[in-house]
Amino acid sequence: MDSFSFEEFARRRRGGPPSDAWRRYVPVIPWLLAGLFLLFLISDFSYTVEPHEQAVVLRFGAYKATTAPGLHFKLPIVDRVMKVSVEEHGLSLPFGPPVQVAPGWPGMISSSTASSVSRASTNPDDDETLMLTGDLNTASVEWTVQWRVSEPSSYLFRFPGEGDDRSARELLTYVARTVMNRLVGDYSFDEMIGPKRGDIAQQAREDTQRILDAYDCGITVTALQMQQVIPPDRVKPSFDRVNASIQLKQKLENEAESTRNKLIPEARASRDKLIREAEGYASRTRAEATGEIEALLAKYRAYQRAPDVTRQRLYLESMQKLFESVKDKTIIDADLKGTLPLLNLNQAPNPAQTSNPTAVGEAPQ
């Protein structure tokens, strides 16, 4: 049996001998294919990583290395490069990304449940923000989560699909909501809107990061901030009245504290002044009493040495003090009989009476 010839087949179809031009291009076709294959290998020999990305290199499907931004080289065909954005992403909770129902769910859940999940994913309601606090009150809580990919290899193996972070957002949403619901149930409403707000945010970030580390998904939560913690709209008027009462109470307490801080220093200054005056009076009285005692002891010692002289001196000193304290003085002669002689010591002597001494106290004939 004769062998098949492509040229003979082409000549028979055209009805004539083979063309010389076709015969010239046939040897070039293998070289052209080889050139295209070589060009493909050269183009697949290098890759570029953007500044906000990191690349994961897989060799025969297994992890090889993680490369930083810049120009890098790889083995064509053998190596596969998957790029991951490592910039920071934001997530507003508790709404998060819309929930998708998996294709196999309709056979496992009822149609009513599937429709409710679909409505919740397409039309997020404010009721999703409601959480039960530790004192059995209801609070509307909203917060934001800032996250980024810290381990690209773990991230890609956990969430397949280059450039799609939807699965990561859904996981982060579920974890963050679970953690926040648990923490809100541990605190009262007043603590959440007051001193414990920052502590709750810090504890939520740490607990969320711990759960994500257990999943080994390569995600790092960089920040978690509480946006608003308010009562539901149905009880907001009552809450506003209670809040106004609390503010009035705090205002009165502040005024009382201000008055207290003003009066206490004044009272302490007055107390110190009275204490110093009492101490001065005590020292002065003690010194006077000590001086009087020393004077009496001196007189007593003098009396022991010369009783008569001391007695007379004390009598004269006492009479001198007595006369000094009396304004009008009258001297009476005890030996005179009859008319009472008077001598006014408060008036200056009369010249007439001085020349006639018998005029004073002279009795009538």
Band (261; pLDDT cuts 50, 70, 90)? very high
Contacts of 180 (CB under 8 A, 6+ apart): 93, 94, 131, 141, 143, 204
Q: What are 140's two structure tokens?
A: 């509307």
The answer to whether 147 and 89 have CB atoms below 8 angstroms apart is: yes
- pLDDT-wise least confident of 38-42, 75-79, 186-190, 192-196: 38-42
Average pLDDT, rounded, for the chain: 77
pLDDT of 364 higher than 70: no
Mean pLDDT of the region 277-296: 92
Q: Which of 71, 125, 123, 73 is nearest to 98 (CA)?
A: 123
Q: How many CB atoms lie within 10 A of CB 151?
A: 19
More confident residue, 37 or 240: 240
Q: Which residues pair with 67 in a beta bridge?
A: 55
Q: What is the pLDDT of residues 148-173, one digit of tens each?
A: 998 988 888 888 765 567 888 999 99
- At residue 105, the pLDDT reads 37
Which residue type occupies 108?
A: M
Instruction: Write the DSSP symbol of residue 17.
Output: P
pLDDT of 183 higher than 50: yes
H helices then E strands: how many in the chain?
11, 11
CATH superfamily of 88-101+120-230: Band 7 domain (3.30.479.30)
Band (224; pLDDT cuts 50, 70, 90)? very high
pLDDT of 112 higher than 70: no
- At residue 1, the pLDDT reads 47
Q: Which of 74, 81, 72, 117 is nearest to 99 (CA)?
A: 117
- Taking the mean position of all CA atoms in its chain, how far away is CA 16? 96
94-99: long-range contacts, CB 8 A cutoff, minimum separation 24:
94/128, 94/129, 94/141, 94/142, 94/143, 94/173, 94/176, 94/177, 94/180, 95/124, 95/128, 96/169, 96/170, 96/172, 96/173, 96/176, 96/177, 97/166, 97/169, 97/170, 97/173, 98/122, 98/124, 99/170
Q: What is the pLDDT of residues 13-43, one digit of tens each?
A: 555 455 555 666 667 677 777 777 667 666 6
- At residue 144, the pLDDT reads 93
Mean pLDDT of the region 198-214: 93
Q: What is the pLDDT of residues 322-357, one digit of tens each?
A: 888 877 777 666 666 655 555 555 566 555 555 454
The answer to whether 331 and 345 have CB atoms below 8 angstroms apart is: yes
pLDDT of 255 higher than 90: yes
Mean pLDDT of the region 242-267: 90
- At residue 140, the pLDDT reads 87
Please name the residue that has the structure tokens 């404010």. 126
Band (174; pLDDT cuts 50, 70, 90)? very high
Task: Collapse the DSSP code of 149 into the 3-class scheme (helix H, G, I; strand E, B; otherwise coil) and give the result.
Answer: strand
Band (127; pLDDT cuts 50, 70, 90)? confident
Domain ranges of the chain: 1-43, 45-85, 88-101+120-230
- At residue 72, the pLDDT reads 84
| Percent of residues, the chain, with pLDDT higher than 70 | 71
Band (109; pLDDT cuts 50, 70, 90)? very low
- pLDDT-wise least confident of 97-101, 109-113, 252-256, 263-267: 109-113
Distance CA 6, CA 187 (A): 87
Which of 44-48, 136-140, 179-183, 320-324 ranks highest by mean pLDDT? 179-183
Q: Which residues of 94-118 are buried (b: 16+ CB within 10 A; e: fewer)?
A: bbbeeeeeeeeeeeeeeeeeeeebe
pLDDT of 284 higher than 90: yes
The answer to whether 81 and 55 have CB atoms below 8 angstroms apart is: yes
- At residue 214, the pLDDT reads 92
